[in-house]
Structure 1
Amino acid sequence: MSKQLNESFTVSPFFLFFLIHSTQTGVGLLNFQSKIIKGAEQDAWVSIVLVGISFHLIIWLLYFLLKKSNNGDIMSLHQQLFGRWLGNALNIFFYGYLILIVSTIIRSYLSVLVTWVFPYTPIWYLSLIMIFVISYLVIGGFRVITGICFWGMLIPSLLLFTLYFPIQYAYWTNLLPVFNHSLSDYFVSAKESILMYSGPEFLLIYFPFIKNNQISQKWAHISQAYTTILYLFITVISFVYFSQGQLEHGTWPTLMMSKIIRFPFIERFEYIYIFLWLLVILPPCCMALWGAIRVLKESFKFKSRMSLWISIIIVHFMVINVKSKMDVEEIGGFLTIVASSFLYFYIPILFIFFLIIQAFKKAKSVGID
């Protein structure tokens, strides 16, 4: 049975809707169309739907494992299944995964800032500012991060109304013909869309901080369904506004759609888009950094301050050593491979391994060798 923390440290199950959705949306929402179009082309929306549905199964697996974990998190689950030493070694790998998420998101967002707004500002300077803001929020604890997730979803949602402008120039025939690609094409698009759906795996860290977490699963599935619908909507709008050639060679299609928005009192609306997007990337960054600190604290008994300093130094070092746009794409591709392997291979393997251990214990308890 998983551990339930004191109520003063927990949040209501309802907030799972914001916690999961806000960690699934990030800087990838600005350019995912250019990646998924290379596979199934105009049919890539099918892959978006299928991957979204598959994440409901992943959420079910996560809940099954967490309910069986001693403390309700992946650190105790690893030690429970593999022992202290091997369990802590696996926790280190999970720590590296979280640090990679923070570094990739920060560097990708800084790439947008340098290209569109601050072309002459050093990356190290912007990185320090970003890390300072994220660290300040993380120090506030899980409840503060939950508040950031709430506002990080609510305020940027207003930008959805701006999609009215590209709809006026839509060519709906861009979606035709339908279902005329091979399974391998759909697989390519699905692989490219996995990273933008990643986020439910943070449950492995903050599950004990959810009040009545044993009965909170419905909010996780509702949030996942909302994310799938949102990505499907943005995908369709992008496909009917841009041609396939424009999407394949465009860098940030979502930002490019914002350039057509004109108001008498705003000349460059895309600047508002970019700076509001800071609220979109803060939740996954804060959650991943907070999770990394918690892994070191729970696995190796490090103090929170020491864990924070170790983590932000590693993140800053990784960010400033990603120099070019090509390097940004490479680290993004590497994170896609790691996230896909973790979600679609490692989590099911943990599930199967747990079932095997349970069956072995049950057989042993009834005297079967």
Structure 2
Amino acid sequence: MNSYVGKQITLFQFISIISGSQVSVAVLNLPRKLSEAADTDGWIALIIGWALSLIAGLAIVGVMKYYPNGTLFDLLSEYMGRWAGVLAAMLFALYFFYLMYDGLVRTILVTKTWLLPTTQSFVLMSLLLIPAYSIVRHGIRNVARYAELIIWISLWIPFVYIYTLKHAHWVYLLPLLKEGWLPILTAVKATIYPMLGMVSIFILYPHLKYKEYATKGIVIANSITMLLYLFVTIICYVYFSPEESHLFNDPVISVLKSIEFKFIERIEVPFISFYLFIFSLIWIPMMYLLTYCIAWIFKRESIGIPLRLLIILLAVGTFFYFPTYNINNFLVRQLFWVGLILEYIFPVCLLCYLWLSKFWKEERSSL
């Protein structure tokens, strides 16, 4: 699994995968969660959350610089033995499955709520898995090209939200720091889950064509994510009153009801249909990363068999059981803690370990 010839991705594709996996389904209810913790000052927490996410992302890039021609699992195998690499691959495979499944479940729940309420969940799951399989089975370059395409064709969406500002009341944002810094610091917790996805760098790094730009890439990707979140959060805050901002489950969708056209009654319906492409930026890359982990464990170059088994498992499993909104919210709360450990704490600790290891070796060699 050490050959990356012909599997390289560009810097923009690198940015598209990271930022796309972060935004995806997490953007829908983020304004509500921030409002519940800090009222209309919740947007300030996004800036703090961005800074923390950026530090974690830079730590991941710093780790990968110690082994630029391999993934995290190759690095751990080199420094600690293959058992460490296999253990990490198993752990991250479970984490990528968690992220992928959460994205699929949330997408299906939103689709059933707004578009197809009578369609069975396993039918929707099957319809989502078919194109995902077609993209993922061709490898990381296809996944990267898909993410890049979705970013380009989604550039018109912010202009639509700007149109809703004709109903804005900017006074809703005042006064700043209504209840001090404590509610804002509490709201930072709500920014952790929407910023998850940086851990994909551990596998994407050796595929990056120009690795010297990885640091620039993570800064740009996290900044794009933060600006998008800040944009939609402020729009929701100035459109809804402070009392209303936490009453809508998905305010990013509800705000679209202010847009009216004579030829369409519910403008949010075509928008949600298009959002499915954006939502897919979480489960399609994570599906590849998951199957890569499994293939690495068994020393296989191809992800074909793990991918087909995963597709069958998801389709059959959904036929017998599918989570409700409450169960999904519980999974999200658990994902917060897992993501906090794997994406924020683990990279910093590993970077410190690698730095100390290198320092000790240099000290011994100098004696």
- Please tell me the TM-score bracket, short chain as reference: over 0.9
Letter in 1 for 2:268: E
C-alpha displacement at 1:214, in angstroms? 2.8
Partner of 1:81: 79
- Which of 144, 149, 152 aligns to 1:151? It is 149
Contact 1:103 1:319 in 2 (8 A): no
List, as ranges, runs of 4+ consecutive aligned residues in structure 1 with deviation greater than 4 Å: 313-320
Partner of 2:305: 306
Partner of 1:106: 104
Alpha-carbon distance in structure 1 between the residues aligned to 2:318 and 2:193: 19
Alpha-carbon distance in structure 2 between the residues aligned to 1:313 and 1:36: 37
After superposition, what is the alpha-carbon deviation per residue over 1:305-346, rounded to whole angstroms, capped at 9, x for unaligned?
221133334544675634321111111222122112222211
Partner of 2:284: 286
Partner of 1:324: 324
Moved more, 126-135 or 355-364: 355-364
Change (3 A) 1:211 1:169: same
Contact 1:151 1:279 in 2 (8 A): no
Letter in 2 for 1:312: I
After superposition, what is the alpha-carbon deviation per residue over 1:186-229, rounded to whole angstroms, capped at 9, x for unaligned?
23311111221222221111111111213342133123222212
Change (3 A) 1:240 1:296: same
Contact 2:89 2:296 in 1 (8 A): no
TM-score by length of structure 2 reads 0.93
**How many residues matched?**
364
Letter in 2 for 1:214: E
Letter in 2 for 1:323: P
After superposition, what is the alpha-carbon deviation per residue over 1:146-180, rounded to whole angstroms, capped at 9, x for unaligned?
12111211222312111133211112121122123
Where do 1:136-285 residues align within 5 Å? 136-285=134-283
Alpha-carbon distance in structure 2 between the residues aligned to 1:316 and 1:361: 50
Contact 2:68 2:205 in 1 (8 A): no
Give the secondary-structure state (helix, strand or coil) at the position aligned to 1:140. Answer: coil
Change (3 A) 1:181 1:79: farther
Partner of 1:18: 16
Partner of 1:347: 347
**5+ residue gaps in structure 1?**
none
Give the secondary-structure state (helix, strand or coil) at the position aligned to 2:209. Answer: coil
Contact 1:4 1:209 in 2 (8 A): no
Alpha-carbon distance in structure 1 between the residues aligned to 2:78 and 2:43: 40
Partner of 1:126: 124
Give the secondary-structure state (helix, strand or coil) at the position aligned to 2:155. Answer: helix
Alpha-carbon distance in structure 1 between the residues aligned to 2:194 and 2:137: 26
Contact 1:138 1:290 in 2 (8 A): yes
Change (3 A) 1:190 1:125: same
C-alpha displacement at 1:60, in angstroms? 1.5
Alpha-carbon distance in structure 2 between the residues aligned to 1:184 and 1:32: 19
Change (3 A) 1:216 1:307: same
Alpha-carbon distance in structure 1 between the residues aligned to 2:76 and 2:289: 15
Alpha-carbon distance in structure 2 between the residues aligned to 1:148 and 1:95: 22
Letter in 1 for 2:362: K
Query: What is the aligned-residue identity percentage?
Result: 21
Alpha-carbon distance in structure 2 between the residues aligned to 1:157 and 1:74: 33
After superposition, what is the alpha-carbon deviation per residue over 1:38-91, rounded to whole angstroms, capped at 9, x for unaligned?
212111111101111222222221111111126431111222333211331122
Alpha-carbon distance in structure 1 between the residues aligned to 2:185 and 2:88: 29
Contact 2:121 2:322 in 1 (8 A): no
Change (3 A) 1:137 1:274: same
C-alpha displacement at 1:121, in angstroms? 1.1
Letter in 1 for 2:206: P
TM-score by length of structure 1 reads 0.92
Contact 1:39 1:188 in 2 (8 A): yes
C-alpha displacement at 1:110, in angstroms? 0.6
Give the secondary-structure state (helix, strand or coil) at the position aligned to 2:177. Answer: coil
